[in-house]
Structure 1
């Protein structure tokens, strides 16, 4: 009996050792969504990115390009799901989700972010850029990089700036040659402090409203015109309710591309570099695409019957320009440095 018990104990001991050995040899690749930790030989990621524009917009196309670059540079271990047209909520909610890591990447409008960070108003200094190409050139400047660095205080990693195009003026009645043509007119603007101040200085009635309301507001006469970039104008077809376009280049319109600090911190140093390289490659492509679209979109609008004129002399706006520049230069040294950069 004792011999049998001893044999049983020996067998149990052997089985226990085998179990431990098998456990040590086990494992494998486990998917991590949004940068969550995973165990195994190679960690994979399925990131979430979001923005406010339609799928035809250059920002969405840039986000898709970013996904392609991530996949290529990571040898397939990084994937990106893109949620366009505010599918994950308005920008205020997007930022809240970015802060917690529920969303990994955001292509946020500089307009909204300028309400959260003073220095970003630099991009909305009036008539700072004669063309989109001029605006893109400042993307790599020291003041632009300083703006991205400041985003760390909000739990965000500032990655880059993309562009949709410069801003122009579409009116139901007539074109724009001077501030007098805008006095008392209700013009839909994007909600940014610097933009609001400029339009107020002109004497217009700046009216901030969500994009989905703009089409019917033009149609019903709630507003007289809009401050718009050509890509959005073509995408949203506002020209169906207002046919007078003045090419003014009075603002540019960037997207601030950010990553959740919470998500970023979960990546290895090597994976962080993959993200940075992928976004640079995508934005380099995207800004060139935006420049190319300026002429293509203009031709599309002309073919659609839009009456196009160009503001060739902006001297009548000089007092408003000076007023806004002086106000915001005093608010942020980055804005002051940015303006000096644009005037070189």
Structure 2
């Protein structure tokens, strides 16, 4: 059963719009209820436990008397907080507001929300021992295409993904934060939602903040986090863009249900692929080879611009190629 987030603001349309938006996001572990009056909110709090109350800063503490909530976050018109008060800036994009609200929420327990679907997300890996083969462009395009029909989460394990520049977004959180929560046994669907962004219907987690965040963590930790997200079942598919790890990426590829491997047909690329196959054999991981699907991607279009690169990918030859994948 989902926890309850109650929303009240003097502008009832604002509360209604936010509740409608949040309730459409499947990964949000709250049922969001908007209220048009404080009296209705007060009566509701007597019948149901409100786990998180999102309240406009025009409401005084006296007006809140008799309204019971586990935690309260203020909707501020200025963004200025009083000491010890949880505050989010009211006039920002709904997805940014939702992430910020969820980052403030302190669950009383590690919730087992979103497991009620009874399903596990399919994990699709994208990896290649061959450089400059279009791997990341393919992975993001695959995510965009699949997200038109399903709930999809894209996770990049590249140290320098270029996502911030390509989306024009300055990230307040990302994979580094999620790894911290996981290693501290504080991971929850709420934590996941607090670092999840959306691009054209595709949910994604920004990469690690610093390359050192990746090199200092074992593959098993990354794999454990991915498996945890998959077991929650909030998404039909997880797209895992696997970069280069010290010691290889086989641990991560092993948790994938299928792995797409972009390749090239030049001499050096072919030699690298043969060496990787031999390494898998020597290290006792030949079974991994059965999960691999090798792809020769269309050549990139040189005229594509940086400003609209991700949208152009969707309707490029690469986008057509992805849509034809069986």
Structure-2-length-normalised TM-score: 0.24
- Relative CO higher for 1 or 2, CA cutoff 8 Å, sep ≥ 6? 1
Structure-1-length-normalised TM-score: 0.24
Return the index of the structure with the highest Cα Rg: 1
